[in-house]
Amino acid sequence: MEKKVTLKGTNEGYFLILNDQASLDEINEELDRLFEQIKKDNKHEQNFDLVIDTKHRILDEATKETLTQKISEHTNFVIKYFSEEVIDKELADKWHNDTSPKMIVRNIRNGQLVQSERDLILFGDVRPGAVIRSTGNVVVIGNVQGTIHAGSKGDEDAIIVAPFLFNAQVRIGEHVEVIEKNADEEVEDTSDENLKRHQIVYLNDLHMIEFGEVEHLARIRPDFAKDLGGFEEWQKQL
């Protein structure tokens, strides 16, 4: 028969694991038996840190408070925190919105301004007089003839990835570069072959805007497109 409650001691402290398939009544009954055994075995008054692991179950605040009080009254354990392997929907939605790039599939026309508080990927053209602005990175799959502003709130590690076949303007943080093409340099053919000519725009070590080839992205910005720690790292920033 699978245990409803398991108490484990490790080098990092004690862990109380609650079976997420058991009902709360079953867990409370087994906790009572566990606490009775602890009282018999415990011969000193030293307090011990305890982490409560609820696995794939989220306990509401009232249940956590009841459990905390029960453990405090019957044992020498001091709860450090509750650990769970799931997150509630509201927090999951916030995580998704904060960490996933904003994706837009349309052309941005003259006079239009598109802004994003996270990385932005545009599948479409940036027409003359249009502005794309993001606090993070910007990737454009389309022609650029307007303005692209990455790191708009001062992130100088932000980059822009786009094909620069026409006159345009790029900005990273407070740094600005105007791209001017001669008439014979502008490319009328927007075939797939030309659209592959993406470049990276970034700030170099001298804090000057520089253009690089996409194949050098891993060297220019090693952390780009890497997993930056997932949910736990994001949660630490809240």
pLDDT digits (tens, 9 = 90+) for 40-94: 776 656 788 999 999 988 889 999 999 999 998 888 888 999 998 887 778 777 7
* Residues 48 and 73 both lie in one domain: yes
* Residues 131 and 217 both lie in one domain: yes
* Residues 209 and 103 both lie in one domain: yes
Q: Does a structural domain hold residue 237?
A: no
* Residue with the two structure tokens 């249940």: 63
pLDDT at 34 over 50: yes
pLDDT at 212 over 90: yes
Of the residues 86, 104, 125, which one is the last residue of a structural domain?
86
Of the residues 26, 53, 86, which one is the last residue of a structural domain?
86
Q: Does a structural domain hold residue 97?
A: yes
pLDDT at 194 over 50: no
* Residues 121 and 139 both lie in one domain: yes
* Residues 116 and 37 both lie in one domain: no
CA 23 to chain centre: 33
pLDDT digits (tens, 9 = 90+) for 141-162: 999 999 999 999 999 999 999 9
The proportion of the chain whose per-residue pLDDT surpasses 90, expressed as a percent, equals: 55
Of the residues 28, 63, 86, which one is the last residue of a structural domain?
86
Number of domains in the chain: 2
* Residue with the two structure tokens 């509630």: 88
Contact 144, 131 (CB under 8 A): no
For residue 236, what are the CA distances in angstroms to 105, 137, 224, 231?
Answer: 32, 22, 20, 9
pLDDT at 116 over 90: yes
* Residues 112 and 227 both lie in one domain: yes
* Residues 79 and 97 both lie in one domain: no
Tell me the backbone φ, ψ of residue 61, rounded to 5 degrees: -65, -35
* Residues 14 and 64 both lie in one domain: yes
pLDDT at 187 over 60: no
What rounded mean pLDDT belongs to the chain?
A: 85
* Residues 152 and 78 both lie in one domain: no
* Residues 71 and 26 both lie in one domain: yes
Owning domain of residue 154: 92-232
pLDDT at 227 over 50: no
* Residues 226 and 116 both lie in one domain: yes
pLDDT at 190 over 60: no
pTM over 0.75: no
* Residues 28 and 140 both lie in one domain: no
